[in-house]
Each structure stands twice: as C-alpha cells, then as structure tokens.
C-alpha cells in the first residue's frame, strides 16, 4: 500500500467527501393489531413505537462519515416536517447538509407500518424536484467541489441528479475522483466517472444478462470504453465483487461471517470506497477494504455503518 496503515486513519480524518443525490428518510411504525377496521377490511394498528433512519444518499453520507472524513451532502428536499427531521438527523451525525428546498416537493419518505412483527404496508412519499431548485444545487456544487477530495453520486432514480453529466464534468475537470452508484438503463449520464458501482441486476439491465464470466468481461470493458469510465465495480452480493479497469479485472469473494440484513450493503461499499479514495488510496487498494465493510454491514440489522475501528480490527 502506498499509504501506510498508521497513516491511513489520519488521512481519512483529514479528507473531505462531497455526496450528491437522492436522500430519504426511512420511517418505521411498530404496533399491535387488535381489530379490523370498521371502515374497510384492513387491520387497525395501534402504534407503540416509532423509528427513523437516514436513507438513500443520506445513509451513504453517514457511511462515509463513520470512517472519519468530513462530509457535505447536497440534496433536494421539500419544505416539510420530514425535511426538518432529515436536517436534524444529519446535524446530529455531523454531516454538513446543503438542502435545496422545493415547496412543491415531498421530501422522500418510506414509511413502513409493522404490526405483530409483520410489515403490513409501505407508504412512499416522492415526486420530481423542480428545475430551479436543482439549478441552485448545481451552483452549490460548483462552489464546494474545489474543497473536496472525492465526489460521490448516489442515484436512487428520484430525479435529484438531473445535472449529473455537468457535475461529473466539473469534478473531473477539477481532478477529483468521481464515484457513482447508478440506477436505470442509461449509463450515458455517468460518462467520464472514475468508477460506477452497479449490483448484478442493475448491470444486467444495461448490458443484458451474461452467460459466462468471459461474456461479462467483454461487455463491461466495452461499456467502460463507450462511457469513458476508468473503472466499474460490480457488487455481487454473496458472490463478493469484481473490479474492471484498464489493467483487466480482479474478483474477490464475499467476506461476511453472518448475514442478517443485506439492505444498505451497497451504500456501505460505495461510501467506504469514496472515503479511501479521498484519503489517497487507489481503487485496487480500496476494493478489498470496501468488500470487508460490506461483509461487516450485512451482519447488522437495518441500514447501518461500519467504523474505522471495526474495519481495521
Ligand atoms: N449475502 C451476502 N453475503 C456476503 N456478503 C454480502 C452479501 N450481500 C452483500 N454482501 C457484501 O456487500 C456488497 C454489496 O452488496 P450488493 O451487491 O447486494 O449491493 P446492493 O444490491 O447495491 O445493496 P443495496 O442496494 O441493498 O444497498 C457485496 O459486494 C458483498 O461484499
Ligand atoms: Mg445498491
């Protein structure tokens, strides 16, 4: 490693990462079901407990922060109560936030109602953010990029990354590594990025289902050339991950000891990668560490983070 392990902690703490994307608030209502509603044939849940967690790009920001770097999150929100909760939760974790407030936008909330330990319904609040608000965030982005060591885009397909081609161009022009967690079928949006980190189904949506490792390699390398991507990291759940770059490809096995909850593993992987690139590691150096972080986080319940101490224990 070019960066000595003893040095790494200090370098992580000195680094700054900019996270841009679709932030969410995950809400859980836990209660008892004692009767059926007289209004419709549905259970009535009497709420006993509420829980809230940062989700989407906000969870990614939290994962970066857990390893030491300073983090700024740029995201569009509504002018509503969930936006204020998001802001105070971010503040409590010392993540700096630049929130573009769009009065016509619902802050993205995923509300789960759980009765008798069973999820009964999930209620989603979301709509497309306004163009003017997004243009304002682009100006914030341009102002902040020079102070950052890495830029991470967390795309959950909610419309907050309309300006991503321009943002990637600016960040690359400033010499910053750019990491993207992609969504959807058009990777032209991510052209010029340093690394994109699709999971298996996300990648299959773009290059088609592959029949062999040779076919996967050939199609990924073509995609990289077409979109000028320095690298592509395929996260393969229980099969670990594969990194494709100009030197070829490397594959490593998953490292989980116990698997309780796989949600959010992708957020932890890209957050860890961004922190390590910001601290000066290469992608090939960072990859096995990010894989270890993914293996640790699937052993925890709910979307969760991995600290520097856990990662290097
Ligand atoms: N079942 C599993 N067993 C072992 N390791 C796992 C498992 N699931 C995930 N991981 C680890 O986490 C990494 C990322 O997981 P995955 O490919 O499922 O990402 P993802 O689908 O983007 O996750 P999400 O979108 O839920 O955050 C894997 O590369 C691996 O290191
Ligand atoms: Mg993912």
Pocket of ligand 1 (CB under 6 A): 199, 235-238, 240-241, 254, 256, 259, 262-267, 269, 291, 294-295, 298
Tens of pLDDT, residue by residue over 120-174, are 999 999 999 999 899 999 999 999 999 999 999 999 999 999 999 999 999 999 9
SS3 assignment, position 111: strand
pTM for this model (two decimals):
0.95
Q: Answer whether residue 75 shows pLDDT above 70.
A: yes
Least confident residue range of 127-141, 171-185, 211-225: 127-141
Please identify, by atom number, the ligand 1 atom nearest to the C-alpha of residue 256. Answer: 4
Give the Å distance between the CA of 134 and the centre of ligand 2: 23
Instruction: Give the ligand whose atoms come closest to the C-alpha of residue 267.
Output: 1
Distance CA 151, CA 128 (A): 23
Q: What is the pLDDT of residue 3?
A: 57
Average pLDDT over residues 85-104: 96
Q: Answer whether residue 42 shows pLDDT above 90.
A: yes
Give the Å distance between the CA of 223 and the centre of ligand 2: 19
Q: Are 22 and 160 in contact (CB under 8 A)?
A: yes
The verdict on whether 267 is a catalytic residue reads yes
* Among 22, 236, 237, residue to substitute to test ligand 1 (most atoms within 8 Å of Cβ): 237
Domains recognised in the chain with CATH numbers: 5-24+54-107+128-311 (3.40.1190.20)
Q: Answer whether residue 1 shows pLDDT above 60.
A: no
Tens of pLDDT, residue by residue over 260-303, are 888 889 999 999 999 999 999 999 999 999 999 999 999 988 76
Please identify, by atom number, the ligand 1 atom nearest to the C-alpha of residue 201. Answer: 21
């Amino acid at each position: 490693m070019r960066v000595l392990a003893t040095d790494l902690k200090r370098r992580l703490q000195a680094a700054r990462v900019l996270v841009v994307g679709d932030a969410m608030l995950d809400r859980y209502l836990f209660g008892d079901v004692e009767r059926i509603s007289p209004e419709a044939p549905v259970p009535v849940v009497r709420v006993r407990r509420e829980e809230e967690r940062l989700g989407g790009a906000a969870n990614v920001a939290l994962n970066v922060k857990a390893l030491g770097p300073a983090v700024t999150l740029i995201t569009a929100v509504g002018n509503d109560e969930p936006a204020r909760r998001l802001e105070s939760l971010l503040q409590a974790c010392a993540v700096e936030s630049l929130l573009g407030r769009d009065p016509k936008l619902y802050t993205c909330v995923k509300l789960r109602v759980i009765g008798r330990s069973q999820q009964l319904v999930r209620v989603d609040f979301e709509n497309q953010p306004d163009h003017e608000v997004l243009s304002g965030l682009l100006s914030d982005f341009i102002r902040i990029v020079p102070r950052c060591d890495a830029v991470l885009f967390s795309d959950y397909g909610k419309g907050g990354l309309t300006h991503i081609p321009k943002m990637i161009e600016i960040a690359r022009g400033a010499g910053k590594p750019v990491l993207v967690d992609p969504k959807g079928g058009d990777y032209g949006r991510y052209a010029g990025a340093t690394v994109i980190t699709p999971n298996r189904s996300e990648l299959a949506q773009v290059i088609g289902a592959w029949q062999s490792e040779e076919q996967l390699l050939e199609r990924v390398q073509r995609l990289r050339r077409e979109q000028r991507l320095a690298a592509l990291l395929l996260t393969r759940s229980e099969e670990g991950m594969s990194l494709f770059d100009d030197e070829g490809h490397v594959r490593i096995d998953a490292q989980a000891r116990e698997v309780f909850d796989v949600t959010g593993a992708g957020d932890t992987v890209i957050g860890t990668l961004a922190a390590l690139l910001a601290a000066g590691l290469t992608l090939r150096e960072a990859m096995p560490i990010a894989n270890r972080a993914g293996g640790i986080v699937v052993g925890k319940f709910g979307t969760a983070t991995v600290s520097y101490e856990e990662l290097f224990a």
